Amino acid sequence: MSSLYRIDASKAKRWYYELGPIRPPSEGRDHSLLIRATRNCPWNRCHFCPVYKGQKFEYRNVAEIKEDIDVARTLAGELKAASWRLGGGGRLDNAVLSAIVNGSPELYSRDSPDPEGLELRLHSLVNVANWLASGGRTAFLQDANTLIMRTPELVQVLSYLKDSLPSIERVTSYARAKTTARKSLDELKELRRVGLSRLHVGLESGADEVLQYMEKGVTAEEHINGGRKVVEAGISLSEYVMPGLGGRRWSTKHAVESARVLNEIDPDFIRLRSLIVRRASGLHERVESGDFQTLDEDEVVAEIGLFIENLNCNAYVTSDQMANLLWEVEGQLPQDKQAMLDTIASYQSKNPYERLRFCLERRRRSFASVYGGLPAEVQEEVQRAVNAIESEAPDAAEKVRAAITVLKQSFI
């Protein structure tokens, strides 16, 4: 039997759909189908975020989005057909992908009539393949704040998505708290009725001083109002907290106030995403000028401990992002609260050189899990830190911090 499968390129106007730059880690783990409903971020001023800088926010019209959904549905049909033709019984794996790519050079070869669109076609094919391989049950609407769409238009998109791809059970999206606060409860309930299952909201901090300094464009009270409304509408809510975002100036207040705000919202999930100061962000300039002092690894761990101590809600806390040092800090509140604090205490009980060794190795493993190995210049930085730890040099902490800073810059 042939190991090739040819797609008849004339059957569709195009074989790609738009893909935005990011999605939550949980949607990556579930291999969600990615549908771009808006482009970039309507706020785009947060000093810690480099993602959409220099990019103009744009609405996409419903017809465009529906066309993308149609492309995803067509690709899903071809992938399933290829699997059955190759004896896979509908299952998706690399052999099926290879059969399509190698069997359809007019679409997936650099010699195709449209080589400039090759990358988009490949990314679309892989996204649909991964989505099907994981069960085809979840979808994520991109980009940074899909909820800003007019509610009737978003209702159309959600309805068309669920009708076109009926295997989808969960549809999620990013949203700003400012937007959730402005939507009426009836609007949110209508969105839930037609299929919006979960919203991911960047709380980042519950301290107004931090929110203002970072130019987040929202207050703690607006976070509470918007979050409560989402919960009342029956939409699952994931709130993101950024340990370290208060720097040395506001670390304690950042931890305590973030816990207070989340206690009032009582979301389904609290997701920790420790601060990484990107070179392309506005915050990097403030660090360079000395106006913002970042926390070291031990200080961030202590801040997370204070934050968890002050949590009194029913959320599931998770550390599902490679920026976090202690991935093991995870559990259901309130019953797993002590276990999370014990994990933090276990780290803090190590001697200073053990902690440095742990931090460096954990960060190195995070880097390698994505990129497979360390570039030579990064390896040299890491080796200098290892040597300093092994010799218990007085500047070991400084060398480890320098190595970790380099490693973190590549974290996604």
Residues counted in the chain = 412
The yes-or-no verdict on residue 36 having pLDDT over 70 is yes
The yes-or-no verdict on residue 273 having pLDDT over 60 is yes
The pLDDT score that the predictor gives to residue 410 is: 67
Identify the sign of the CA torsion 308, 314, 315, 317: positive
Query: What is the arithmetic mean of pLDDT over 219-247?
Result: 98
Query: What is the arithmetic mean of pLDDT over 384-405?
Result: 94
Query: What is the arithmetic mean of pLDDT over 344-362?
Result: 96
Nearest by Cα to 193 from 236, 147, 137, 234: 234
377 or 42, higher pLDDT? 42
* Mean pLDDT, all residues of the chain: 94
The pLDDT score that the predictor gives to residue 164 is: 98
The answer to whether 346 and 385 are in contact (CB under 8 A) is: no
Question: What distance in Å separates the CA atoms of residue 383 and residue 400, rounded to the nearest whole number?
Answer: 10
CA dihedral 73, 98, 138, 81 (to 10 degrees): 40
The yes-or-no verdict on residue 212 having pLDDT over 90 is yes
Query: What is the arithmetic mean of pLDDT over 368-391?
Result: 87
The answer to whether 167 and 128 are in contact (CB under 8 A) is: no
pLDDT in tens, 143-198: 999 999 999 999 999 999 999 999 999 999 999 999 999 999 999 999 999 999 99
The pLDDT score that the predictor gives to residue 314 is: 98
In 3-state terms the chain splits into helix, strand, coil percentages (rounded to 5) of 50, 10, 35
The answer to whether 266 and 313 are in contact (CB under 8 A) is: yes
The answer to whether 278 and 284 are in contact (CB under 8 A) is: yes
CA dihedral 205, 170, 74, 111 (to 10 degrees): 30
Question: What distance in Å separates the CA atoms of residue 379 and residue 178, rounded to the nearest whole number?
Answer: 43
Question: What distance in Å separates the CA atoms of residue 59 and residue 36, rounded to the nearest whole number?
Answer: 10
The answer to whether 33 and 168 are in contact (CB under 8 A) is: yes
Which of 6-10, 302-306, 356-360, 365-369 comes out lowest in average pLDDT?
365-369
The pLDDT score that the predictor gives to residue 1 is: 46
Element (H, E) at 357: helix 352-371
- What percent of the chain has pLDDT above 90? 86
- List phi, psi (to 5°) of 197: -95, -40
Helix (H) and strand (E) counts for the chain?
Answer: 17, 10
Number of other residues whose CB lies within 10 A of the CB of residue 281: 18
pLDDT in tens, 327-336: 999 999 999 9
Question: What distance in Å separates the CA atoms of residue 258 and residue 214, rounded to the nearest whole number?
Answer: 15
pLDDT in tens, 60-107: 999 999 999 999 999 999 999 999 999 999 999 999 999 999 999 999
Q: Does the bond joining 143 to the residue before it have cis omega, within 30 degrees of 0?
A: yes
